[in-house]
Structure 1
Amino acid sequence: MAEGITYLCPGCGAYLRYDGGQGKWVCDYCDSSYTKEELEQRGAKTENSGYTVSSGDSGKTETVDFACEENVAEGKDQEHLRAYSCPNCGAEIVTDDVTAATFCVFCGNPTVNPQQFSGKYHPSAMIPFATDKKQAQEAFLKLCKGKKLLPKGFTSQQRLEKITGVYVPYWLFDCKADFDYHATGENHLIWSDGDYDYTKTDLFHIHRAGTMDFENIPLDASENMEDALMDALEPFDFTKVEPFDMRYLSGYLAEKYTYEPKDLFERMKDRVSRGIENRASEEGRRYDVVHSVQCNTNYKSDHQAYLLLPVWMLVSNFKGKKYLFAMNGQTGKIVGELPCDTGRSVTWFLLIFVIVFVVAFLLVWLIGGVMA
């Protein structure tokens, strides 16, 4: 039996979800809202790395259990699926073995599985959502605005409702890099005496060496996320980081990491190397041409922190290809790719062709009439 947690409204006993726009826990049934301090005053407290749940003004707490069946599906591709029974309506919820927070698609009940965040999977910190679903929907509509070739119904209300808040696992790296940079710089002087053109080329050896320190390099630690997309959502404001609190997960999806820091070391080096070469090459701006660049770097990372960062996501499939929209749940920055309906493209092309043909025909007819 696995233990799951649902946070209950102190006023009516319905479930609570965290609303990033308000920065409060809200109840969709009685329209109550609570700050973190108000929840603690009403009886919510921590116990064994999990939370017991306040169920009323009396301060009574309730821990909700739900059944967990291991490897519910047969076959190698489905061996990591898990089935849970919703503590509210009893429906079966099927997730993978890295999902730590989810909600029932039948009753909407948000549930957190604290066992997924136990031991080495316990995050040291998190950045709570600072935007809400409505803001994510508005950002998606703004991205799609004016795109005439989108598939029909791509911005329907049904699709907007599929935008989901996800706490994505990240590793934050601190890194010290010792670099030794060598390059050749050229300056060209060109002149003419009327008969001949001359070019003088001066060659210079550029050498820079030193140590650079990098802090809080974020790398997503989930194999389910596209690395380039997650990188494009940066920056996050790490001055707003909070100690890990499972109550912030209520109403969102959340995953535990699938990549260890050692698995991300090469990605970390690639990101750091770009910063080193940009800084080391600053002296090259004094020259017309810089070539034969060599930069030898030793990287050392003694500290990595595991935390959760907020992302709004929408995955769309169109003609066998996946299109992903994402919004930084803290800053509101958006990235994404939109599909193009070739059928609508042809329609628009024919429409424009007909309009241009008719206008051209009328112009020729008018000009011919005037000349006659």
Structure 2
Amino acid sequence: MKEGAGMEAITFLCPGCGAYLRYDGGREKWVCDYCDSEFTKEELEQRGAAVEDSSYEVSPGDSGEQGKLEFEFQENITEQEEDAHLRAYHCPSCGAEIITDDVTAATFCVFCQNPTVLPQKFSGKYHPSAVVPFETDKKQAQEAFLKLCEGKKLLPDGFTEEQRLEKITGIYVPFWLFDCSADFDYHATGEIHTIWSDSRFHYTKIDLFHIHRAGTMDFAQIPLDASEKMQDDLMDALEPFDFSKAQPFDIRYLSGYLAEKYTYEPKDLYERMTNRISPGVQRQAGQNSGRYHSVHSIRCDTKFKSEKQDYLLLPVWMLMSRYKDQNYLFAMNGQTGKIVGQLPIDSGKSVKWFFLIFLISLVITGILAFLVGGVLL
């Protein structure tokens, strides 16, 4: 367990009633669920709605004295090595213990839902250059999940119950954006077929052409998730994100959501980046080959170079469900609403539907056989 002295945590409080604030992507404002107040970023900057370190100022309607709420970092004294990465904090609202790991940078108390941000996790090299704020809310994510499950007869019973819907959580996922250049050297063999015939024979003439193209392609803002916890294929499937709406990093956007710092450096993602780009390079290099009847023996040698990578946080709504020792993930792009998901199948229901369809097909076959036999007679 690493020493945690001097660690701070921040909770953003409503200037009106002192309750916690959360960022609402649909309204693009910070909202208070207790007094229904709404604040823009400029209003928060003017009124200073944050509690830092171990104290906060009570709202103007209170006694005027400064209230003290403990928000201390506790050293994890566990002797088990696998737990050494855990960190324990006290919730400033209810006093409950909040457990996080090394990469968690924004979380909330499971007892009182008090949102908490740990700014130290985003300091130094872990400071993002930008954040794409949520533009959808939890209700929209729940509706998208229900729509995804709609009509799925083989889902386990209770899979769409309200208790499960409440577990859908907004997460700011760390991403690296790569700018990359690709120097390519493309070689292939093209064939043009000429066919004719006379009174005796059919002829086919095949002309072979060596296709050679070389050049440089530039790619910008290739997103790759930088968290070892996330499934890469599902994160890729959530694209595209509109990076023109990215905002300079402001930790207040994290209030009310989970957030993590990156666990993969750009060098760890370089091979994955090149694997994503390579098919596109070859496809672009081979364009305008339509005049050939066939193209084969393709070889595309490519040298990649990336000198610029930007670190930012992207919004994702997620629900992880476990069914029969297997994890199933639902995810929704928190900006565009695009959804991807893995849904479990109840094996018992699958067997029942198989036999039901089998019996129906037997009945239909029997009826058709009877009708055909009656006509023949």
Q: Common fold, TM-score beyond 0.5? A: yes
Query: 2:324 maps to which residue?
Result: 319
One of 306, 325, 341 as aligned partner of 1:336? 341
Q: Per the alignment, do residues 356 and 270 of structure 1 end up closer, same or farther by CA in structure 2, a change over 3 Å counting?
A: closer
Verify the 8 A CA contact 1:84 1:92 in the aligned structure 2: yes
In structure 2, what is the Cα distance between the partners aligned to 1:70 and 1:359? 70
- Which amino acid in 2 is paired with 1:56? S
Q: How far has the Cα of 1:355 moved from its partner?
A: 4.1
1:241 maps onto 2:216 in alignment = no
In structure 2, what is the Cα distance between the partners aligned to 1:210 and 1:363? 65
Q: Deviations over 1:125-164 (max 9, x none)?
A: 1100000011111111111111100111111111111111
Alignment of 1:1-372 (within 5 A): 1=5, 2-44=7-49, 56=59, 66-71=71-76, 73-358=78-363
Q: Deviations over 1:292-325 (max 9, x none)?
A: 2122222111111111000011111111111111
Q: Per the alignment, do residues 56 and 192 of structure 1 end up closer, same or farther by CA in structure 2, a change over 3 Å counting?
A: farther
SS of 1:284's partner is coil
Unaligned runs of 5+ in 2: none
Q: Per the alignment, do residues 265 and 317 of structure 1 end up closer, same or farther by CA in structure 2, a change over 3 Å counting?
A: same
- Give the percent of matched residue pairs that are identical in Structure 1 and Structure 2: 69
- Which amino acid in 2 is paired with 1:286? R
- Which amino acid in 2 is paired with 1:322? N
Q: Deviations over 1:188-225 (max 9, x none)?
A: 22333354332211111111111111111111111111
Verify the 8 A CA contact 1:4 1:64 in the aligned structure 2: no
Q: Deviations over 1:237-263 (max 9, x none)?
A: 010010001111011000000011111
Q: Per the alignment, do residues 320 and 277 of structure 1 end up closer, same or farther by CA in structure 2, a change over 3 Å counting?
A: same
SS of 2:278's partner is helix
Q: Deviations over 1:110-130 (max 9, x none)?
A: 000001011110101110000
Q: Per the alignment, do residues 143 and 45 of structure 1 end up closer, same or farther by CA in structure 2, a change over 3 Å counting?
A: closer
Unaligned runs of 5+ in 1: none
In structure 1, what is the Cα distance between the partners aligned to 2:346 and 2:79? 37
TM-score by length of 2: 0.90
Q: Per the alignment, do residues 89 and 190 of structure 1 end up closer, same or farther by CA in structure 2, a change over 3 Å counting?
A: same
Verify the 8 A CA contact 2:226 2:263 in the aligned structure 1: yes
Q: How far has the Cα of 1:336 moved from its partner?
A: 1.3
Bigger CA drift: 185-194 or 252-261?
A: 185-194
Alignment length (residue pairs) = 369
In structure 2, what is the Cα distance between the partners aligned to 1:228 and 1:79? 30
Q: Per the alignment, do residues 184 and 17 of structure 1 end up closer, same or farther by CA in structure 2, a change over 3 Å counting?
A: same
Verify the 8 A CA contact 2:172 2:315 in the aligned structure 1: yes
RMSD after superposition: 2.7
- Which amino acid in 2 is paired with 1:349? F
Verify the 8 A CA contact 1:3 1:65 in the aligned structure 2: no
Q: Per the alignment, do residues 206 and 70 of structure 1 end up closer, same or farther by CA in structure 2, a change over 3 Å counting?
A: farther
